[in-house]
């Protein structure tokens, strides 16, 4: 490892930009190649997620790179979910019982732009747009590109190549096609796809529904969600089966049927989406896939990072946070002065993979929670108890959601194991009538519940351990 070694990063998206910035701050010489045009000069948002959820793990990595404050300037805090039923009634559910725990809606493009700006301030960084990576010769560490403007093809040789090129990573495809090693790989699609729509700002530029919530219209087999934007609009996303159920993406092909569907299922949302028909027909339907793979690295030459190594479904709001945390974890490994890139890469995967596997699985759990469980009485009772516990015992209790989202000092895997055991404990205690709640619980009453949940959770974890799970 030599600071003069040329480092190539494929992809200047969120992960690639932050990685470039951090490696530049550490003194490395970095060249970044991105297939898209520079998003600071061209609007390329069509069809991609316009806003994302930024929470503590992502902020931790931004803080490391000195970017937390700038990011917070473009954040819209969301303190909880606001559920909408078919009659237009709403009820809210906070993300945490602690006031300082909330997630943020942030524009993908705006955040990417400030990261690119900051990276480019470093003389040891160059960023090249409209350069599509076709494939990587992983044995000789040569990446082959095509320039979208000139149509010319060219190659770049580097000491180390990072594939921060997202779910469709060309570096990962080269791992598969070059067959130099046994590559474990999975791509798993949900039977649901997604389509983005928009609730515009009102005539005075204000948000038409609460901007302090992530809105959910849970309908069991499908759902609509909405996240606020700084300009007063909301980005709305419909998650719906491709081919199952009465309404699905395959049969929602006529304006009449689209209107019928929204009138029946989402009348209050329909009233807020003026261009529903055009948007539904013109906006693309995207797939929802999970990608896992191993190994992430090849020798001392290449490393997959971010979505290229672990693309996940969006339901935990952790995709960007997980990718940013990758940069944080890699930085910690670099602090260990391990001497060579191969050891760095292997140590990084060993530290990180169990956590990215966990968030991938948690994100699928949350799909079912958001579209279905949030409207379930047992689940609502559980959330109510958890809010009370978090509010009353601020340092002693964290729900699964809090462990995953707001406890950035433990890994996703630990958060998953503890959080799932807690959920199981609580659901069984409620279902078995072993805990009882009412309005205005006293601290003593809540302490009894906390002790029962803690004991039951520890029993579950211990029994799983004995069974080798």
Give the footprint of its own copies on this chain (CB under 8 A): 182-189, 242, 287, 289, 292, 368, 373, 420, 423-424, 427-428, 431, 463-464, 466-469
Residue 91 or residue 189: which is nearer to its own copies going by CB?
A: 189
Q: How far is the CB of 189 from its own copies (least distance, A)?
A: 4
24 neighbors 30 (Cβ within 8 angstroms): yes
**Tell me, what DSSP letter sits at residue 284?**
P
Q: How far is the CB of 365 from its own copies (least distance, A)?
A: 9
For 282-316, b where at least 16 C-beta lie within 10 A, e where not — what string?
Answer: ebebeebebbbbebbbbebbbbbbbbbbbbbbbbb
Q: How far is the CB of 212 from its own copies (least distance, A)?
A: 29
Q: How far is the CB of 367 from its own copies (least distance, A)?
A: 13
Q: How far is the CB of 38 from its own copies (least distance, A)?
A: 30
Q: Which residues contact 370 (CB under 8 A, 6 or more apart)?
A: 81, 216, 218, 223, 225, 315
In this structure, how many other beta carbons lie within 10 angstroms of the beta carbon of residue 73? Answer: 10
412 neighbors 359 (Cβ within 8 angstroms): yes
Q: Which residues contact 450 (CB under 8 A, 6 or more apart)?
A: 389, 393, 396, 397
**Tell me, what DSSP letter sits at residue 285?**
P
Q: How far is the CB of 250 from its own copies (least distance, A)?
A: 12
Structural tokens at position 141: 């560490």
Residue 73 or residue 459: which is nearer to its own copies going by CB?
A: 459
Q: How far is the CB of 130 from its own copies (least distance, A)?
A: 25
Residue 244 or residue 260: which is nearer to its own copies going by CB?
A: 244
Residue 242 or residue 393: which is nearer to its own copies going by CB?
A: 242
Grouping H, G, I as helix, E, B as strand and the rest as coil, residue 32 is strand
Residue 244 or residue 451: which is nearer to its own copies going by CB?
A: 244
Q: How far is the CB of 414 from its own copies (least distance, A)?
A: 19
State how far the Cα of 377 lies from the Cα of 369, in Å rounded to an integer. Answer: 12
Residue 377 or residue 468: which is nearer to its own copies going by CB?
A: 468
Q: How far is the CB of 287 from its own copies (least distance, A)?
A: 5
Residue 166 or residue 193: which is nearer to its own copies going by CB?
A: 193
State how far the Cα of 467 lies from the Cα of 29, in Å rounded to an integer. Answer: 50
Which residue is it, tokens 């898209």? 36
Q: Give the distance between the most distant pair of CA atoms in the chain.
A: 72
Residue 64 or residue 358: which is nearer to its own copies going by CB?
A: 358
Residue 182 or residue 439: which is nearer to its own copies going by CB?
A: 182
State how far the Cα of 27 lies from the Cα of 151, in Å rounded to an integer. Answer: 33
Q: How far is the CB of 186 from its own copies (least distance, A)?
A: 3
Q: How far is the CB of 460 from its own copies (least distance, A)?
A: 8
Residue 79 or residue 183: which is nearer to its own copies going by CB?
A: 183
Which residue, 72, 34, 51, 19, is CA-closest to 326?
A: 19
How does DSSP assign 390-431, residue by residue? HHHSTTT---HHHHHHT-TTS-HHHHHHHHHHHHHHHHHHHH
Which residue, 213, 239, 266, is CA-closest to 363?
A: 239
Strand ranges of the sheet holding 297-298, from the earlier edge strand across to the other edge: 125-128, 29-33, 6-10, 160-163, 302-304, 297-298
**Tell me, what DSSP letter sits at residue 179?**
-
State how far the Cα of 446 lies from the Cα of 437, in Å rounded to an integer. Answer: 9
Residue 375 or residue 427: which is nearer to its own copies going by CB?
A: 427
């Amino acid at each position: 490892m030599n600071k003069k070694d040329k480092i190539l990063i494929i992809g200047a998206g969120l992960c690639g930009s932050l990685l470039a910035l951090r490696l530049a701050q550490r003194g490395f010489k970095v060249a970044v190649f991105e297939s898209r045009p520079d998003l600071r000069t061209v609007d390329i948002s069509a069809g991609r997620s316009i806003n994302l959820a930024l929470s503590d793990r992502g902020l931790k990595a931004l803080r490391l790179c000195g970017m937390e404050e700038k990011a917070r300037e473009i954040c819209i805090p969301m303190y909880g979910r606001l559920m909408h039923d078919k009659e237009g009634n709403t009820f809210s559910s906070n993300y945490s019982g602690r006031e300082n725990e909330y997630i943020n809606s942030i524009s993908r493009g705006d955040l990417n732009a400030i990261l690119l700006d900051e990276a480019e301030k470093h003389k040891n960084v160059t960023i090249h747009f409209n350069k599509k990576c076709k494939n990587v010769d992983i044995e000789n560490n040569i990446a082959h590109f095509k320039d979208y403007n000139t149509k010319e093809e060219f190659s770049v040789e580097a000491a180390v190549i990072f594939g921060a090129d997202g779910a469709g990573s060309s570096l990962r495809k080269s791992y598969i096609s070059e067959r130099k090693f046994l590559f474990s790989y999975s791509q798993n699609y949900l039977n649901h796809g997604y389509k983005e729509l928009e609730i515009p700002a009102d005539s005075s530029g204000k948000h038409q529904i609460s901007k302090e919530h992530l809105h959910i219209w849970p309908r069991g087999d499908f759902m609509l969600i909405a996240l606020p934007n700084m300009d007063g609009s909301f980005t709305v996303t419909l998650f719906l089966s491709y081919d199952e159920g009465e309404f699905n993406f395959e049969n929602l092909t006529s304006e009449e049927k689209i209107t019928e569907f929204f009138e029946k299922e989402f009348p209050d949302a329909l009233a807020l989406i003026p261009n529903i028909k055009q948007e539904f027909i013109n906006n693309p339907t995207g797939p929802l896939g999970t990608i896992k793979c191993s190994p992430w690295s090849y020798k001392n030459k290449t490393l997959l990072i971010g979505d290229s190594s672990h693309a996940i479904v969006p339901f935990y709001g952790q995709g960007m946070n997980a990718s940013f945390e990758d940069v944080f974890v890699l930085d910690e490994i670099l602090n260990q002065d391990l001497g060579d890139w191969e050891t760095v890469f292997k140590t990084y995967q060993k530290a990180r993979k169990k956590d990215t596997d966990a968030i991938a699985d948690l994100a699928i759990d949350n799909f079912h929670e958001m579209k279905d469980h949030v409207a379930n009485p047992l689940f609502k009772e559980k959330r109510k108890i958890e809010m009370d516990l978090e509010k009353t015992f601020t340092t002693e209790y964290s729900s699964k959601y809090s462990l995953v989202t707001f406890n950035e000092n433990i890994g996703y895997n630990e958060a998953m194991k503890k959080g799932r055991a807690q959920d199981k404990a609580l659901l069984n205690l409620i279902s078995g009538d072993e805990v009882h709640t009412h309005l205005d619980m006293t601290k003593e009453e809540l302490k009894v519940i906390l002790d029962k949940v803690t004991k039951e959770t520890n029993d579950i974890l211990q029994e799983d351990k004995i069974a080798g799970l």
